[in-house]
Amino acid sequence: MIRPVWIEVDLKALEHNFKFIRKIIKNNVKIVATVKQSAYGHGIIPIARKLSRLGVDCFGVASLEEAIFLRDAGFKEPILVLSAVFESYAEYFVKYKVTATVVSLDFARRLDKLAKKIGVVHPVHIYVDTGMGRLGHYYKDSFEFIEKIKNLKNIFLEGIYTHFPVADSDLNFTGSQIKAFNEFINLLKNKAITFKYRHCANSIGMLNYPKAHFNMVRPGLVLYGGMKFKGVGSSVLPILSLKSKVIFIKRFKPGMSASYGRNFVAKKATLIATVSVGYADGYPWSLSNKAKVIIKDAFFPLAGNVCMDHIMVDLGNRRDISVGDDVILIGKSGKLEIMASDLADWAQTIPYEIMSRLSLKIQRDYKPSLLPY
């Protein structure tokens, strides 16, 4: 590593979070670990390898490419693609033994034909819409669609699922989704259509709505601990730290400005540190003049706009800070901590975006443990 910007991932904290999930769900409830988009920016292979050793039941990915990547890396666990894929690519689901989300009858028929050709019955999960409005038929209009797929001889209706859009903010709407999903499953059951797995709970849904567990859950952010979850205290730990180093320090006189736009102008004499990280690394431009960093167990504010490769930090009169000192952008030092959710608040976005947009070119170091236990 020549350019001093890197990510540390604490696999012991990941294990802690996984065991916490196991603790709050019933023994018969399976876990689909959501590792899409490079495991929310943490690195899909090391995260999946750790989860595999912990006994995860299934991996959830966003694309067929991610599923193939896991298969080529040797993972044998079931893999569920949590999105629609064009029917012209159906053959890869059969070839790589990947479970498809089905929202199209044409795709299901193509998959059935390919499975029949090699003499297998291929598992699929049906997505029904109860309020997300993103994929799948509205649940009230899904019966005929599902009945037609059930008649395909080489398709196994392994799972049915839906998704919550406001599990963190609207108890009533989410409750109505759970009720609607449950009633629809019972309607199908009365028509002799059953599924091995029923699932709807994402991280917040899993934590806040025990009735949403059914017999499968899909944790994502709770695995990675990018925010403080209400009601669980320190039961969920952050696993990612983003760090850099001071590469230059300059003494500013009153009236001197920092960065593009000149929207930071020193009102008094101060020290400004240049740090090797920028928006090309996934550190958002919208953090300009808003974010803080930690250096030597103290908070310091950004000075001026985030650049493509650099940020500037106002050190005040801290003369004990030198070129080469560590700068924590996400992470903990002593009693101070900056979480992905803190950056999200400053940038007016969500922690999912902060983590998933961290550049894959940043070196990631996977630690057995950064914790005291």
Could you say which of 36, 50, 243, 245 is catalytic? 36
Longest dimension (CA), the chain: 78
Strands, E, within 77-138: which ranges? 79-81, 100-102, 122-129, 137-138
To the query of whether residue 30 is one of the catalytic residues in this protein, the response is no
Contacts with 329 (C-beta within 8 Å, 6 or more apart), sequence order: 242, 243, 244, 277, 283, 291, 293, 338, 343
* Residue 294: CB atoms within 10 Å: 21
> Which H or E run includes 123?
strand 122-129
Q: Identify residue 222 by its one-letter amino acid code.
A: V
**Could you tell me the two tokens for 195?**
């599924």
Question: What is the C-alpha to C-alpha distance for residues 167 and 92, in angstroms, rounded to an integer?
Answer: 34
Could you say which of 19, 89, 140, 260 is catalytic? 260
Q: 348: buried, middle or exposed (CB in 10 Å: 19+, 13-18, 0-12)?
A: exposed
To the query of whether residue 189 is one of the catalytic residues in this protein, the response is no
- Identify the three-state secondary structure at position 264: coil
* Residue 53: CB atoms within 10 Å: 10
Residues noted as catalytic: 36, 260
